[in-house]
Amino acid sequence: MKKLRVLLLVHDLLLPPDDADQLDWEETYPYQMELDVQAALRELGHEVETLGVKTDLDVIRQRAAAFKPHVAFNVLTDFHDITAYESHVVSYFELLKLPYTGCNPRGIMLGNDKVLSKQIMMGHGVPCPKFASFLPGTKKPRLAKNMDYPVIVKSAIEHGSTGLSQASVVKSDRQLEKRVAYMFDKVGGEVIAEQFIPGREMTCSIVGNGNRLTVLPVWEVWFTKLAKNKHAICTEQLKWNVDYAQSIGIKTGRVRRMGEQEEKAVQKIARDAYKSLGLSGYARVDMRMDADGNVYVIEANVNPDITAIEDFSEAAQEAGMTYNDLIQLIVTSGVKYAAPWKAGPNKKYM
């Protein structure tokens, strides 16, 4: 394995301190992913420089000019606290002709837009829930004629289940109006109302570019202590409140009660979604399965959490990889990604 110079790009507030290896988990939790990636890269023998990025992208140009990295390992998921700027940062890498890990700018933009991504996936035959979308200022949101209640109302543009709660599942026009208005006020931006699919929550993580994809085992999320009147959904509170998550008994692991052929069919749906959006690097495809076994893609999460103890990494372990193997695979995919500046004008890339 060739040893590389790797520029690890992190948010400035998540820059691991020099003594991080001597701190308790409670102290390192906010930047655990950054710390895990940094440690893995160094254990793999790469020369690593970690750069905290705040509000000036020129620091990337300056460090790249001085360090001359073979690849930038990118874990920046927004810029100026704006999710939509995530793709702009990666576009800057391409303007610098700097190889990078993770998804390409167009794929990030499509993956982060729940409305446009569904339109594209459905156009490619990928099963998705029916949906309606509402731009800010819409006073009387209504479902499309081919939709029925219940629906789940969420941000069309934000990550991390922002604004998502049990109240997001609505069953009437009046409830829809109230929830859409709430999302406009508290989150902002376009809102999507998606046919709610009661059933099982699953994910499938993928690494690679074009047709050279490593599709990891299907993972499932379930709850062992959830009250019967609650919906089995990954709310904002569930994702960011460890105590609450433990109180409802959240569990994740290799998909349960599913044969090999059925799992391969689910993996194919995830793979088709990944390819239809032109994703690269790595992503996690979120899905739900109804009582009849029908699988629907909810969204594709580009550049998801790759902390060593998170689902993406655990799925890789289930496939026989160590955490270091996974990080090396992500690095290799970044080095090999044929960005437009490598292909030249009017040539195919990916």
The verdict on 135 and 87 lying in the same domain is: no
Structure tokens belonging to residue 115: 């409305």
Q: What is the pLDDT of residue 344?
A: 62
Q: In the structure, what pLDDT confidence band is assigned to residue 237 with cuts at 50, 70 and 90?
A: confident
Question: Tell me: the pLDDT tens digits for 41-58?
Answer: 999 999 999 999 999 999
Q: What is the pTM of this model?
A: 0.93
The verdict on 160 and 43 lying in the same domain is: no
Q: In the structure, what pLDDT confidence band is assigned to residue 346 with cuts at 50, 70 and 90?
A: low
For 222, list phi and psi in degrees, rounded to 5: -145, 170
What is the percent of the chain with per-residue pLDDT over 70, rounded to a whole number? Answer: 98
* Final residue belonging to a domain, choices 80, 100, 120: 100
Segment 165-186 shows an average pLDDT of 96
Segment 175-184 shows an average pLDDT of 97
Q: What is the pLDDT of residue 32?
A: 96
Instruction: Report if residue 134 sits inside a domain.
Output: yes
Instruction: Report if residue 27 sits inside a domain.
Output: yes
**CATH code: domain of residue 261:** 3.30.470.20
Q: Which residues are bridge partners to 79 per DSSP?
A: 82
Q: Which residue has the higher pLDDT, 73 or 243?
A: 73
Q: What is the pLDDT of residue 347?
A: 54
Comparing 124-133, 153-162, 195-204, 325-334, the range with the smallest average pLDDT is: 153-162
* Final residue belonging to a domain, choices 54, 78, 100: 100
Residue 175's domain spans which residues?
130-195
Mean pLDDT for all residues in the chain: 94
The verdict on 204 and 306 lying in the same domain is: yes
Q: In the structure, what pLDDT confidence band is assigned to residue 161 with cuts at 50, 70 and 90?
A: confident
**CATH code: domain of residue 62:** 3.40.50
Positive or negative, the CA dihedral 88, 310, 188, 148 is positive
Question: Tell me: the pLDDT tens digits for 240-293?
Answer: 788 888 889 999 999 999 999 999 999 999 999 999 999 999 999 999 999 999
Contact 250, 239 (CB under 8 A): no
Segment 192-207 shows an average pLDDT of 97
* Final residue belonging to a domain, choices 78, 100, 122: 100
Q: In the structure, what pLDDT confidence band is assigned to residue 350 with cuts at 50, 70 and 90?
A: very low
Instruction: Tell me the C-alpha distance between 27 and 305, whole Å.
Output: 18
Q: For the chain, how many structural domains are there in total?
A: 3
Q: What is the pLDDT of residue 349?
A: 43
The verdict on 158 and 220 lying in the same domain is: no
Instruction: Report if residue 111 sits inside a domain.
Output: no
Structure tokens belonging to residue 196: 């709610």
The verdict on 147 and 164 lying in the same domain is: yes
The verdict on 316 and 209 lying in the same domain is: yes
| Interstrand relation of 169-170 and 151-155 (parallel, antiparallel or unpaired) | antiparallel
Contact 254, 80 (CB under 8 A): no
Contact 191, 153 (CB under 8 A): yes
Instruction: Report if residue 347 sits inside a domain.
Output: no
Question: Tell me: the pLDDT tens digits for 14-23?
Answer: 999 999 988 9
